[in-house]
Amino acid sequence: MVKVIAVASQKGGVGKTTTVVNLAHGLAIKEREVLVVDVDPQGHAAIALGMLPEPSVFNSFVGGLEIGQVLRQTGRPRLFIVPGDKRTSTAQTVLLAEGCDILESLRTAFVKVFRDRPDIVVFDTAPSVGGFQEAALFAADLVVVPVATDHLALFGATGVLETLRSLQRRGWHGKVVALPTFYDEVTRHSKEVFAQLNERLTAMGLPVLKPVHRSTELREAAAEGKTIFEHSPRSRAAKEYAALVWGVLGMLKGGVR
């Protein structure tokens, strides 16, 4: 059965797409067949993998193309993508105008249709409320919430949790974890914010994973259209994302639904 991961925050600039592409590639390296579906109109997932963000989700939902016609190989073994672009928000608007059940739309299009392949679908979502983000969360067995180590980032995590609570009333029963990002252990401020975030997120019932540090290598990898495992496989960032991969595999194996 296909497992679904949604990476989501309702605040931008928290390392969401960086987490999507590195987690997805790490899972593919561990011999899982992985499909990234980008439902963020910014379309950054394809760009981060060195690809153009088209054809896209729009072409499937509005353009009438079959999933196989928009699904693309990334040039990396076992890693595929359906990109997003600025027309993704138009596809969302069209579905709503046509009275479609948008909560079921992504599950039907990218999960149920594949049955047992790929092994894992990873959704990259927009930092907004409702629409495709809500649908991706509803489809997910596991939600990963990147939380930058700054005071404002907590609001993005809180928004996702509020959305998930409303989805629970409609039958969602997956798991959710927080991934601290942009951590800088050198500065006292970063340490203090991280401690506060850890305390508050734990009090909210949100398990907190080990942080991903602020990293020049991650920025360089994104600029080159590479994942951290391609750009700097021996770096601390690569080890931290590898730890995330192993943790996610453990949660999926344990049966998150």
* Average pLDDT of span 198-218: 90
Percent of the residues in the chain that have a pLDDT greater than 70, as a whole number: 96
Task: Quote the tokens at residue 127.
Answer: 């930092």
CA–CA dist 75, 125 (Å, integer) = 23
Amino acid symbol at 153? A
- What per-residue confidence (pLDDT) applies to 8? 94
Above 90 in pLDDT, residue 249?
yes
159, part of any domain: yes
Q: Give the domain extent around 133.
A: 3-248
Give the number of domains in the chain. 1
Question: Is beta strand 34-38 parallel, antiparallel or unpaired with respect to 142-148?
Answer: unpaired
Which is higher by pLDDT, 114 or 77? 77
Residue 256 lies in a domain: no
* CATH assignment of the domain containing 240: 3.40.50.300
**Residue 94's pLDDT band (cuts 50, 70, 90):** confident
When pLDDT is averaged across residues 5-10 and rounded to a whole number, the result is 94
105 is a domain residue:
yes
In this structure, how many other beta carbons lie within 10 angstroms of the beta carbon of residue 200? 14
Average pLDDT estimate for 29-41:
94
pLDDT above 60: residue 256: no
For residue 174, the model assigns a pLDDT of: 93
Q: Is residue 255 part of a domain?
A: no
Given 3-state DSSP classes, what are the helix, strand and coil percentages for the chain, each rounded to the nearest 5?
45, 15, 35
In a domain, 253, yes or no: no
Within a domain: residue 117? Answer: yes
Confidence of residue 139 (pLDDT cuts 50, 70, 90): very high
Rounded to two decimals, the pTM is: 0.92
Residue-wise pLDDT for 209-231, tens only, equals: 999 999 999 999 999 999 999 99
